[in-house]
Structure 1
Amino acid sequence: MVIDNIVLSLVTRVEAGDGDALLEFHRASVAGNFTLAAGEREDIAFQLSVPWETPVTHLQGRRLAGMTMGVRTELSVAKAVDQGDLDEVEIHPLPVQEQILAAFDRLGFRLRHADLERGGIYGVRQELPFYQEIEFAAPPEYAKSMDEVEVTFVADATGTEVILEFDKRGGLLAEGRDTYARYRVEHTDAQTADWTSSVQKWIHQAVTSHSASP
């Protein structure tokens, strides 16, 4: 039997207006053009590079609630394609992303869950057709200003955009409006910056800007 091609694809669950569905967002050929005899087994070593924007599925050794991601193996034999089941994969945050998420935790924000929203973020360059929102419940000291904050990362080879959405139920920070903030951080700053101070400053800027809004 001639194996024409072996393709691995990354698949995740994305929310849309009419519900959610599994979506393939990355695929790569890892082997092909070889022959297997009846009963023969072949072990294939491979590496699968993932896009910079690939959403996080695990944080601090635990799976993020709401996240589903797997790798699917596709085998091409005699021009016929056979797709296998999904095998779960773990995607951990990039170092700078992990530092920012840890800073929210140190400031008392409690991780709730994460989800993927189909579409793009205005003004942000994206390669994938969706973005991730990682939701934290705000600590009591921010109760008058916000109930929760959603953190979105859109990464590339040099750094990541950090998009923050601050929400107050019944009206975010001011009469039903969501508060958004956007920052750019570099991968090289992951171990050198004071991320607790930086995140605290971002939160303060969001609260004070809306307090000053008419």
Structure 2
Amino acid sequence: MYMSFFDKMKASIGIGAAKVDTKLEKDSYKQGEMVKGNVFVLGGNTQQEINGLYIHVMTQVLREQDDRKYLDDVTLYKIKVSDAFVIEKGKEKVIPFSLQLPYETPITIGDVSVWMKTEMDVTFALDPKDNDYINVFENETVSSFLKAIESLGFYLNKVKNVPFKRSKTGVFQEFEYKPKGGPFQRSLDEVEIGFVADAQSVDLFIEVDRKARGLSGFLESAAGMDESKIRVQYKHFQKESVETAKQELMDILSRYSR
């Protein structure tokens, strides 16, 4: 059956065109977990050629340009779930898929969001899209360190995603903690931690901001010498407990808070 000229024109601007809808098995996942689901493609008022079907794991990063801060949508990971096919008028095509969330997928906490964007590539037409937001929780190692730092008297003040070339996804999630009690209340202004991970290990990054004490402390702060940056690697099989993570953080923070 041939498409009429008017059917083609309407489909090219999205009127009566094919639609896409992705259904996930669930809406909550851990970092590195497999995501499974089905993509439903529903034909519109006319036959259409689909060049390909893609799923993106998406989040937002905070960028700075010319003293202006703004959020930018970025792709953490992308897979092709179907090659070219034709969807007939009014017909439905179901395409199953699975993908592994990157181990560096940001945790959905605070204003941080993660979603699956399904996109159909259609020539000379608006590409139909579908967004499905998911909850992402930390893996065991990350969880141990987040619990450990709070047990040392810190509270989570801010979470943000920033661009980071050393991570596989190009995104780095920063957790900013401030002391409200505990052994570091008087010596530290804040501690920022973040993680770069893969299937084998987790790299813990810590930035310690010491409190300025007296004139020398003020001069150190003004010169940027009051901050210390630390990187430590942990293998997943080590199964860091909260108590072990707490002791390791205690040792690191004590060393850099003097």
- After TM superposition, the score normalised by the length of structure 2 is 0.67
Amino acid at match of 1:158: Q
Which range moves more in the overlay, 83-92 or 132-141? 83-92
Whether 2:180 is the aligned partner of 1:132: answer no
One-letter code of the match for 2:155?
R
Instruction: Answer 1 or 2: which has greater strand percent.
Output: 2
Match for 1:5 among 29, 35, 52?
52
Letter matched to residue 229 of structure 2? Y
- Alpha-carbon distance between aligned partners in 2 of 1:209 and 1:104, rounded to the nearest angstrom: 15
| Structure-2 change in CA distance of 1:198 and 1:26 (3 Å) | closer
Task: Tell me the C-alpha RMSD between the 2 structures.
Answer: 2.4
- What SS class does the counterpart of residue 160 from structure 1 fall into? strand
Aligned with 1:128: secondary structure? coil
Alignment of 1:189 onto 2:238: yes
Q: Which has the larger radius of gyration?
A: 2
Give the deviation of 1:210 after TM superposition: 4.2
Matched, 1:143 2:185: yes
Q: Helix, strand or coil for the counterpart of 1:126? A: coil
Please say if residues 100 and 196 of structure 1, whose CA atoms lie closer than 8 Å, have aligned partners that are also in contact. no
- Which residue number corresponds to residue 152 of structure 1? 194
Q: Describe the shift of the 1:80–1:113 C-alpha distance in structure 2 as closer, same or farther (beyond 3 A).
A: same
Shift of 1:39: 1.4
Structure 1's 37 and 83: CA in aligned 2 closer, same or farther, altered over 3 A? closer
1:68/1:198 Cα in 2 relative to 1: closer, same or farther (>3 Å)? Answer: closer
CA contact (8 A) 2:187 2:257 kept: no
Structure 1 residues 209 and 166: alpha-carbon distance in aligned structure 2, compared to 1, 3 A threshold: closer
> Is 1:42 the equivalent of 2:87?
no
Cα offset, 1:53, TM superposition? 2.1
**C-alpha distance 169-3 of structure 1, shift in aligned 2 (>3 A):** farther
Aligned residue among 121, 125, 134 for 1:76: 121
- Structure 2 portions without partners, runs of 5+: 1-47
- In structure 1, the gaps of 5 or more residues are 58-63
Q: Are residues 1:89 and 2:140 paired?
A: no
1:51 aligns with 2:102: yes
